[in-house]
Amino acid sequence: MEIGIYHVLEVDRITDPGAYLTDGEEDVLLPTKYIPSGTRKGDQLKVFVYRDSEDRIICTTQTPHATVDQFAFLKVIDTNNVGAFLDWGIDKDLLVPFREQNNKLKKGQWVLVYLFLDGRTDRLAATAKVAKHFSSEISVAEGDEVDLLITNTTELGTNVVINNVHRGLIYSNDLFHDVLEGDKIKGFIKTLRPDGKIDVSLRKEGLENLERGAQQILDELKKSDGFLPLHDKSDPEDIQSALQMSKKNFKRSVGILYKKKLIHLVSEGIRLK
């Protein structure tokens, strides 16, 4: 039975230690504390299969933050002479062996890791040496909606994992709301650079986003008695603070409203007609 992934298995029998689930060929124990209330023989359960601390293959209905061959941003909760242990959402902690650490990990630290099946122990483990696990073959196009895992923030912006395949960056001026390390959110491919680096935005470029921006400005005008003290000479930081959009998007969205004769442009800002 494959370790490190989810399986949908049938309840074969329920005993004191727990329920034995089967795929028709092999059985695996689901300990009693993980059995959903009302479970009966013949029920189908979605479970995560792994090895416990005694090297037995068991399963759980808990949800890990990542499965085998996936990236995750996790917290170090303990260390010993074997390596560092990460909290990954289930009762059994995830090991990062010393050989899989770039620098010695410390308790309380957050780290980007990649989960793999250790061929020597047949156990699920993690590595902090993640660079080799990113694909060099670009599988996304500009404008694509993608899944993002937020990792760490630098002076340039926030690093992300794209579709569990690529490394990317959201520049600081493209971040219009707070994101937290470890968040899993949607985003859009902004630029594919010649050097293979990928720029990401949390908003879709183009007309659809501009129309949303125009509607947002209209909504803010209605909340503000029909006037906003923002114009094409306003600082980008003021626009971002008030509307959570870039100055470029602001100017284009104002242009849409002006052409539709919904606003007046005055020296002090924008006035609703």
List the single range of 60-64, 86-90, 97-101, 171-175 with lowest mean pLDDT.
171-175
73 Cβ neighbours under 8 A, 6+ residues apart: 110, 111, 112, 113, 149, 150, 151, 152, 181, 182
pLDDT at 63: 95
CATH 2.40.50.140 residue ranges of the chain are: 6-60, 71-131, 145-201
pLDDT at 11: 97
What CA–CA distance (Å, rounded) separates 229 from 250? 13
Report whether pLDDT(75) > 90: yes
Fold of the domain built from segment(s) 145-201: OB fold (Dihydrolipoamide Acetyltransferase, E2P) (2.40.50)
Angstrom CA distances, 151 to 27, 28, 34, 111, stand at 37, 35, 30, 8
User: What's the CATH superfamily of 71-131?
Assistant: Nucleic acid-binding proteins (2.40.50.140)
Q: Please tell me the CATH code under which domain 207-272 is placed.
A: 1.10.10.10
DSSP string, 161-230: EETTTEEEEEEGGG--S---TT-EEEEEEEEE-TTS-EEEESS--SHHHHHHHHHHHHHHHHHTTTEE--
What CA–CA distance (Å, rounded) separates 23 from 139? 34
Report whether pLDDT(201) > 80: yes
What CA–CA distance (Å, rounded) separates 167 from 136? 10
pLDDT at 207: 47
Average pLDDT in the chain: 91
pLDDT tens figures, 113-126: 999 998 888 889 99
Helices 207-223 and 236-243 cross at an angle (nearest 10°) of 80
Bridge partner residues of 142 (DSSP):
none
Phi, psi for residue 68 in degrees, rounded to 5: -60, 145
Q: CA 198, 202, 207, 212: dihedral to nearest 10 degrees?
A: -170
Q: Give 181 or 146, the one with higher predicted confidence.
A: 146
Report whether pLDDT(180) > 50: yes
What CA–CA distance (Å, rounded) separates 47 from 62? 8
Pairing of strands 145-153, 184-192: antiparallel
Q: Report residue 206's pLDDT band, with 50, 70 and 90 as the boundaries.
A: low
**Rounded average pLDDT over 37-42:** 95
CATH 1.10.10.10 residue ranges of the chain are: 207-272
Fold of the domain built from segment(s) 6-60: OB fold (Dihydrolipoamide Acetyltransferase, E2P) (2.40.50)
pLDDT at 210: 56
pLDDT tens figures, 223-248: 889 999 998 889 888 888 888 888 88
pLDDT at 40: 95
